[in-house]
């Protein structure tokens, strides 16, 4: 059985309006998403802005209300995290996108990192301090960082404070929502390497949400591609990058800039061919509302949203 | 053969913090030729946007020293009205965030029309509308007649950026400055916008300065590349040389820290330390030396200057000769000197 299993997850937001402020309809931010993650692996959730990838991550950790569907964590249903046992809540942690807005500017680093410890563990002042120092060391910050405030750090350092907070309770699953999107490439490399290191050290499982396919390919074992709240394709890294089946995935892969300038004109031609194919076969791959069909297996690991035959 | 549109000589842009001036752009010299796309790459805080803003003279508090020659005229001596005659006409600018670059209270058609009107007071309203529709079509906006009467918030990010581009090219500028034009956009939209910019450049033969932090974008777009670090240009070369034979330690480190979708590296290269802030910049010696401490002091120059190692390929400081990665790490294969 998988470590995290998401079954037919739906998150619909009501649209209020009209004279009495009644519900006029729903925004189907996540509309029937299913996937599973094995323990110790990294699962990548990819999509463009508005595809519902962040909402999916937030729904799993309980920051968005689940409309229907099931989330199983280690075999236990956790649809309602507030009612779920306290253990589960400490086992799932989140790293947020923007290290500038996800740290309380009025708190010292030591208090930021100690907050989850204070919520879940009864430690003495001394023990707490020791744990915080260990964490600060683990994420590669200098010991005197604990008395500083977030504004005294650079973006990469702040993101590492966010990571220290996320791993303070030794969680099993970390949901990382665009953890490096706000960072420069050299800092990005630092954070990604670090995430890989602690994954090995602590046996973490990641749900890695990103729009950057280069980063996704570097980090993930399995990948799901979302479009307008639905899955269009899922599979292993090889399935997605070497053998994309859905036209939307092809287009995403073709849109990644090629780092070798010699391939430039070739790549442009390829991109234009894919664009043409995308325009011509849009109706074949999407239903009348422009949404993806149900996923159909094309191999043991590879699922593609194709119309049912017949 | 190559006609310079823009020539920058020893440009230094400094900002006053308390009582001191600090140079965000430090002694930068470069040229942009007609029909050439020069990419300026660097990380946040390296001065690349400050450089773009200096060329357009959009900083009103900065102290600008050196020469900026646009078609032979030194525009650092221009008055505001002289500059206004250039801005939006001969020099166009595409900004990073299309939502903040557009006026939320003005209809798209009026915003683009305004630029035409400012530089040509005699243009009749009818002709102006015709030209705006023509521009909207040119940048690939469907149903231009309809979009003409829409407000910015009604358009998607990609469409807004197309509007910003339409504004920048409205008066057929000879120099176009694009400051991170696709950073705020999704990848598929990014590739569309970049392809559009390429097409427009081919058509108009304008000189383009593309400012970006994305090396993939550089590889796709640029003719020549200038790499900036801490306010200075550390390496400048044509795009093929830069990717195949990068010399400066910073360029090589940067190329190695990018996770690419084409190649698998188990571990990314991390540049040690952090980018120094404007006030803490070492004003003497090689500015990158603090981040490659395993390279001996003697490898650096006292006052690093740009050396021409091959025609058109300039590298700052002599430390590139002795540079190697700390753990004997191999570089990606197409980056290695062949």
**pLDDT given at position A1:** 67
**pLDDT given at position A154:** 79
Cα separation, B165 vs B159, in Å, equals 10
**pLDDT given at position B333:** 44
Is B295 found in the same domain as B187?
no
Asked if the Cβ–Cβ distance from A192 to B259 is below 8 Å, we say: yes
Instruction: Tell me the chain A residues in contact with residue B243 when contact means C-beta distances shorter than 8 Å.
Output: 259-261
Is B307 found in the same domain as B160?
no
Quick one: B198 exposed, middle or buried, by C-beta within 10 A (0-12, 13-18, 19+)? middle
Cα separation, B294 vs B289, in Å, equals 9
**B interface with A, Cβ–Cβ below 8 Å:** 43-44, 157, 186-191, 194-195, 213-217, 219-220, 222, 239-240, 243, 253-254, 257-262, 264-265, 267-271, 274-275, 334
Mapped onto helix, strand or coil, the DSSP state of residue B179 is strand
Residue B245 confidence class, pLDDT cut points 50, 70, 90: very high
Q: Choose one of B198, B222, B246: the last residue of a domain.
A: B222
pLDDT over 60 (residue B338): no
Residue A17 confidence class, pLDDT cut points 50, 70, 90: confident
Q: Greater confidence, A184 or A42?
A: A42
Mean pLDDT, residues B300-324: 92
Mean pLDDT, residues B236-245: 95
Q: What CATH number has the domain bearing residue B30?
A: 3.40.50.300
Structure token digits, residue B164: 């910003």
Cα separation, A52 vs B270, in Å, equals 32
Mean pLDDT, residues A129-145: 88
Mean pLDDT, residues B133-138: 93
Is B193 found in the same domain as B261?
no
pLDDT over 80 (residue B266): no
Is B237 found in the same domain as B218?
no
Residue B329 confidence class, pLDDT cut points 50, 70, 90: low
Is B31 found in the same domain as B110?
yes
Cα separation, B13 vs B64, in Å, equals 5
Cβ atoms of residues B224 and B239 within 8 Å: yes
Asked if the Cβ–Cβ distance from A217 to B243 is below 8 Å, we say: no
Model confidence pLDDT, tens digit, residues A249-284: 999 999 988 888 999 989 999 999 999 999 999 888
Cβ atoms of residues A55 and A37 within 8 Å: no
Picking from B220, B230, B269 by the largest number of A CB atoms within 10 A of its own CB, the best residue to mutate is B220
Asked if the Cβ–Cβ distance from A257 to B157 is below 8 Å, we say: no
Cα separation, B332 vs B338, in Å, equals 12
Strand pairing category for A205-210 and A42-46: parallel
Is B235 found in the same domain as B210?
no
Is B298 found in the same domain as B149?
no
Mean pLDDT, residues B9-33: 91
Q: Choose one of B183, B207, B222: the last residue of a domain.
A: B222
> Based on the structure, what is the number of domains in chain B?
2
CA-closest candidate to residue A142, choices A179, A165, A109, A172: A109
Is B189 found in the same domain as B71?
yes
Quick one: B139 exposed, middle or buried, by C-beta within 10 A (0-12, 13-18, 19+)? buried
Report the DSSP beta bridge partners of residue B94.
B178
Structural domain of B89: 4-222
pLDDT over 80 (residue B323): yes
Cβ atoms of residues B229 and B25 within 8 Å: no
Structure token digits, residue B208: 């383009």
Kindly identify which residue of chain A lies nearest to residue B240, measuring between CA atoms: A261
**How far is the alpha carbon of B79 from chain A, nearest alpha carbon, in Å?**
37
Is B117 found in the same domain as B250?
no
Picking from A179, A261, A270, A274 by the largest number of B CB atoms within 10 A of its own CB, the best residue to mutate is A261
Considering CB atoms only, which of B222, B239, B267 is closest to A193? B267
Cα separation, A176 vs B151, in Å, equals 35
Element (H, E) at A275: helix A264-280
pLDDT over 70 (residue A236): yes
Asked if the Cβ–Cβ distance from A261 to B260 is below 8 Å, we say: no
Cα separation, B209 vs B94, in Å, equals 10
- Compute the mean pLDDT over every residue in chain A, rounded to the nearest whole number: 89
Residue B164 confidence class, pLDDT cut points 50, 70, 90: very high
Residue with tokens 């239903």: A287
Chain A, 144 to 173: residues with Cβ < 8 Å from chain B are 154, 156-157
Give the DSSP letter of residue B87.
Answer: B
Q: Choose one of B164, B197, B222: the last residue of a domain.
A: B222
Cα separation, B22 vs B279, in Å, equals 7
- Compute the mean pLDDT over every residue in chain B, rounded to the nearest whole number: 88
Asked if the Cβ–Cβ distance from A217 to B259 is below 8 Å, we say: yes
Model confidence pLDDT, tens digit, residues B175-223: 999 998 988 788 888 888 899 999 989 999 999 999 999 999 999 999 9
CA-closest candidate to residue A85, choices A95, A96, A75, A94: A75
Is B163 found in the same domain as B30?
yes
Report the DSSP beta bridge partners of residue A31.
A10
Mean pLDDT, residues B8-17: 92
Is this complex's ipTM strictly greater than 0.85?
no
Is B155 found in the same domain as B26?
yes
- A250 phi and psi, to 5 degrees? -55, -45
Considering CB atoms only, which of A157, A186, A253 is closest to B257? A186
Asked if the Cβ–Cβ distance from B243 to A48 is below 8 Å, we say: no
- B224 phi and psi, to 5 degrees? -130, 155
Residue with tokens 């100690």: A114
Residue B116 confidence class, pLDDT cut points 50, 70, 90: very high
Structure token digits, residue A239: 């399935």
Residue B263 confidence class, pLDDT cut points 50, 70, 90: low
Is B154 found in the same domain as B65?
yes
Model confidence pLDDT, tens digit, residues A221-231: 999 999 999 99
Residue B334 confidence class, pLDDT cut points 50, 70, 90: very low
Inter-chain CB pairs, A–B, below 8 Å: 114
pLDDT over 70 (residue A285): yes
Domain A4-228: CATH superfamily, name plus number: P-loop containing nucleotide triphosphate hydrolases (3.40.50.300)
Structure token digits, residue A270: 């390829």
Instruction: Tell me the chain B residues in contact with residue A199 when contact means C-beta distances shorter than 8 Å.
Output: none
């Amino acid at each position: 059985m998988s470590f995290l299993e998401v079954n037919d997850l739906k998150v619909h937001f009501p649209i209020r309006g009209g004279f009495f402020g009644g519900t006029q309809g729903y925004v189907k931010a996540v509309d029937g998403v299913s996937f599973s993650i094995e323990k110790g692996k990294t699962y990548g959730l990819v999509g463009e802005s508005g595809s519902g990838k962040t909402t999916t991550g937030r729904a799993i950790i309980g920051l968005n209300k689940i409309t229907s569907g099931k989330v199983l964590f280690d075999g236990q249903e956790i649809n309602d995290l507030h009612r779920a046992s306290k253990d589960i809540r400490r086992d799932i942690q989140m790293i947020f996108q923007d290290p500038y807005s996800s740290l309380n500017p009025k708190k010292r680093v030591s208090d930021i990192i100690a907050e989850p410890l204070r919520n879940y563990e009864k430690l003495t002042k001394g023990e707490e301090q020791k744990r915080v120092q260990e964490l600060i060391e683990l994420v590669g910050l200098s010991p005197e960082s604990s008395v500083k405030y977030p504004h005294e750090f650079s973006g990469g350092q702040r993101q590492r404070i966010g990571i220290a907070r996320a791993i303070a309770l030794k969680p099993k699953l970390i949901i990382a929502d665009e953890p490096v999107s706000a960072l420069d490439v050299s800092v990005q490399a630092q954070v990604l390497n670090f995430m890989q290191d602690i994954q090995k050290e602590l046996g973490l499982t990641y749900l890695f949400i990103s729009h950057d396919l280069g980063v996704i390919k570097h980090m993930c074992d399995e990948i799901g591609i979302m479009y307008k709240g639905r899955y269009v394709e899922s599979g292993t890294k090889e399935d997605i990058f070497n053998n994309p089946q859905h036209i939307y995935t092809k287009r995403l892969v073709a849109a990644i800039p090629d780092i070798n300038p010699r391939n430039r004109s070739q790549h442009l031609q390829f991109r234009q061919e894919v664009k043409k194919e995308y325009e011509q076969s849009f109706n074949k791959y999407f239903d009348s509302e422009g949404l993806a069909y149900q996923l159909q297996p094309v191999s043991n690991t590879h699922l593609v949203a194709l119309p049912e035959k017949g | 053969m190559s006609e310079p549109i823009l020539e920058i000589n020893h440009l230094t842009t400094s900002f006053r913090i308390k009582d001191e001036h600090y140079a965000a752009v430090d002694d930068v010299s470069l040229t942009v030729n007609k029909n050439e796309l020069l990419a300026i790459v660097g990380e946040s805080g390296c001065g690349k946007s400050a450089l773009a803003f200096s060329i357009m003279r959009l900083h009103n508090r900065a102290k600008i020293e050196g020469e900026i020659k646009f078609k032979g005229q030194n525009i650092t001596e221009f008055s505001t009205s002289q500059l206004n005659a250039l801005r939006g006409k001969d020099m166009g600018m595409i900004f990073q965030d299309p939502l903040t670059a557009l006026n939320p209270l003005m209809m798209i058609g009026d915003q683009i029309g305004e630029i035409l009107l400012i530089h040509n007071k005699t243009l009749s309203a009818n002709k102006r509308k015709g030209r705006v529709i023509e521009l909207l079509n040119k940048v690939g906006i469907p149903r231009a007649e309809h979009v003409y009467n829409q407000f910015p918030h009604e358009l998607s990010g990609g469409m807004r950026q197309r509007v910003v581009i339409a504004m920048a090219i409205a008066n057929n500028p000879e120099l176009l400055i694009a400051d991170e034009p696709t950073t705020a956009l999704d990848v598929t939209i990014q590739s569309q916008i970049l392809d559009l910019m390429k097409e427009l450049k081919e058509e108009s033969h304008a000189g383009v300065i593309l400012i970006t932090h994305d090396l993939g974008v550089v590889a796709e777009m640029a003719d020549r590349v200038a790499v900036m670090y801490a306010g200075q240009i550390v390496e400048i070369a044509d795009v093929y040389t830069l990717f195949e034979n990068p010399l400066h330690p910073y360029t090589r480190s940067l190329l190695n820290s990018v996770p690419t979708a084409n190649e698998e590296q188990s571990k990314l290269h991390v540049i040690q330390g952090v980018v120094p802030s404007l006030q803490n910049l070492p004003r003497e010696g090689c500015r990158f030396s603090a981040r490659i401490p395993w390279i001996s002091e003697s490898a650096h120059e006292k006052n690093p200057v740009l050396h021409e190692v091959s025609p058109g390929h300039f590298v700052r400081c002599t430390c590139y000769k002795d540079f190697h990665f700390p753990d004997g790490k191999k570089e990606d294969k197409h980056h290695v000197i062949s």
